[in-house]
């Protein structure tokens, strides 16, 4: 505490603000990690989406008509992009993105057994759980970089301007008596 009291006022301010920002970010991260499973379960339970039937999606996967397969954890949607030939074959217009909702329900009932789909879902859930921690780490790094840049670059420039004010090149008024 003695070292902190000896620091200049602006350094104390930077350290206090940095500590507050890191603390808030840390508490948010802890809360997100503690409640991650319950948040995920709530999202899965409340999902009511249904774009294509499970049989249609299985057909797309079996015939290898889907190129980009993605799983949105929060929406509980499995999406894929159909190849051009498949769009024509099945009469799907537009971008060719197909979606299957209620994925968690299908997995619980063992109606989805495709390893590619299950692996995609597993990877998406891992990313979902890791997101709060990654956000916290990036926040800490940002605060440290901004604090150090302030203390190394901005503070010395400000102090030099205060101690050595720039001389004005404007003409001075001369008093005549």
Rounded to two decimals, what is the model's pTM?
0.51
Residue 56 lies in a domain: yes
Q: State the SS3 of 122-143.
A: HHHHHHHHHHHHHHHHHHHHHH
Residue 172 has pLDDT above 80, yes or no: no
pLDDT tens-digit readout, 7-54: 888 888 888 998 999 999 889 888 887 877 777 676 556 544 336 788
Residue 167 lies in a domain: no
Mean pLDDT, residues 67-79 taken together: 83
Give me the domain span that covers residue 67: 48-130
Closest among 132, 174, 140 to 29, alpha carbons compared: 132
Residue 23 lies in a domain: no
Residue 60 lies in a domain: yes
Query: How many domains is the chain built from?
Result: 1
Residue 145 lies in a domain: no
Residue 8 lies in a domain: no
Share of the chain residues as helix, strand and coil, in percent rounded to the nearest 5? 65, 10, 25
Residue 151 lies in a domain: no
pLDDT tens-digit readout, 94-139: 777 888 878 888 888 888 888 888 888 888 888 888 888 888 999 8
Residue 177 lies in a domain: no
């Amino acid at each position: 505490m003695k070292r902190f009291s000896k620091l200049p006022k602006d350094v104390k301010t930077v350290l206090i603000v940095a500590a507050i920002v890191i603390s808030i970010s840390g508490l948010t991260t802890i809360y997100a990690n503690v409640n991650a499973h319950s948040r995920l379960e709530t999202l899965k339970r409340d999902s009511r989406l249904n774009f294509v039937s499970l049989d249609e999606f299985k057909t797309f996967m079996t015939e290898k008509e889907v190129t980009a397969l993605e799983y949105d954890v929060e929406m509980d949607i499995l999406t894929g992009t159909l190849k051009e030939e498949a769009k024509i074959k099945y009469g799907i217009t537009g971008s060719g993105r197909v979606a299957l909702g209620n994925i968690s329900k299908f997995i619980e009932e063992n109606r989805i057994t495709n390893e590619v789909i299950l692996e995609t879902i597993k990877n998406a859930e891992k990313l979902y759980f890791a997101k709060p921690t990654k956000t916290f780490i990036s926040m800490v790094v940002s605060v440290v970089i901004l604090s150090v840049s302030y203390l190394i670059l901005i503070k010395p420039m400000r102090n030099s301007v205060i101690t050595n004010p720039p001389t004005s090149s404007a003409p001075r008024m001369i008093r005549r008596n």
